[in-house]
Structure 1
Amino acid sequence: MAEDRTPANALEAHRRDDRVLDTGALRALAHPLRVRMYDILSQYGPQTASSLAERLGESSGSTSYHLRALAKHDLIREVADRGTARERWWERPEGGISFASPEAMDTPAGRSAKQLVMVEFLRNRNEQLLDYATRGIEQEDEVWRDGSIISSATTRLTAEQAQELSAKIMALIDEAVENHRHQSGEGVRPVTIRADLFPLPPIGDPS
């Protein structure tokens, strides 16, 4: 039987591959500093407690404590065959995560943890975007400016058309991540890729 490749099914398959965070993992991540540490590991790769402390203006004792809390719920893991007993390296496992846990959404604590994590994650990414827009554009070489996009658009879609467009966007992003996740060498830098697509409230709806 041929595999169903419709956009809706392709997007659903992508989401099935994500790790759905349970209540325990969400609550472990629901701390502003832990979200920032997790995001740094996601964007820049393996770090130590000391390197994270230097980036974040914290003590290494503080970052070490929070790293252990994240590791307890398998949100991060120690890098095998790297580091010493005094200086351990940590990484975020590959793959996406999802906050759409029915178990977590059934409790006030789970809903609160999800909201905090999402707000802090978006706050961090928005700060990066604003920093690039206000300072980074002028500081970057022309070749990097030409390869960057800050754009927004509005159109009118049905739910099915939105699913189709979401699937196409995610396919492009997934392909880039899969092909270049481990790339290194001269000229290679971490690049954040962001896609926002959601329905606007009806006119007159204040929410």
Structure 2
Amino acid sequence: MSEEKVQPEPRQRRTLDVAALRALGHPLRMRILDLLSQHGPQTSSTLAELTGESSGSTSYHLRILAKQDLIREIPERSAGRERWWERPPGSVSWGDGAETRSPAGRAALQAATAEFHRLRNDETTDYFTRRADREPEEWREVSASFTTIARMTPAQLAELSQQVEELITAAGARYRDQEGEGVRAVTVRADLFPLKQLGGAS
């Protein structure tokens, strides 16, 4: 009997406006959004423990993220002053529309993009230079970092990007809510971009 293929759920994609990008340009707010994505719902107190900040600080930044609909409260879990927050399902796009082409919009986009990649670079460096040695062998053996160089046209890169996105989306749909022994949150990444041309424009 063949295994039934899990079809990925349709993913809602939101293009962030300048106000949302400004919110994400702050290091702690980007970190909070990442923690909600990686570890599920949290309160200002649990986020304070994870970030080393005060609960007053995390509570303040949670409200800013919520104002931009980047996160949402879970009313059924909240009680009294303890409010639980989660990241809504779906993906976001940084966008390159008219709004982000103004000087203020471009600055907001650059700040948010810088924080996004700084966090990912820090996580990657931390794992492969420090944490990997402390992980069980079964996790060390399956951790990997791949890279290659190809010479492609924009159309070919677009096709590859779509294929990679479909593969990652399918994995997310299959394993997003999995629980049980041996299950941990993992990060799945792909970086696709043209390299700087020697002697050309940056």
TM-score (norm 2): 0.89
Superposed, which structure 2 residues align to 1:25-104 within 5 Å?
25-104=20-99
Aligned to 1:129: 124
Q: How far apart, CA to CA, are the structure 1 residues paired with 2:99 and 2:55? A: 31
Aligned to 1:170: 165
Deviation sequence 1:9-60 (CA, Å, 0-9, x none):
xxxxx9x941011122222222111111111111111111011111111110
Contact 1:39 / 1:121 at 8 angstroms: preserved in 2?
Answer: no
SS of corresponding position for 1:132: helix
Deviation sequence 1:65-119 (CA, Å, 0-9, x none):
1101110111100123113121111001011101115243132222111111111
Match 1:153 to one of 139, 148, 156: 148
Q: How far apart, CA to CA, are the structure 2 residues paired with 1:17 and 1:60? A: 31
Contact 1:34 / 1:70 at 8 angstroms: preserved in 2?
Answer: yes
Q: Which amino acid aligns with 1:65?
A: Y
Q: Which amino acid aligns with 2:113?
A: M
Gapped regions of structure 2 (runs ≥ 5):
1-9
Contact 1:20 / 1:101 at 8 angstroms: preserved in 2?
Answer: no
Bigger shift: 171-180 or 94-103?
A: 94-103
Deviation, 1:194, is 0.8
* Number of positions where the alignment pairs a residue of Structure 1 with one of Structure 2: 193
Deviation, 1:141, is 1.7
Greater helix percent: which structure?
1
Gapped regions of structure 1 (runs ≥ 5):
1-13
Aligned to 2:198: 203
TM-score (norm 1): 0.87
Identity of aligned residues (%): 54
Q: Which amino acid aligns with 2:121?
A: N
Aligned to 2:136: 141
Aligned to 2:183: 188
Aligned to 2:13: 18
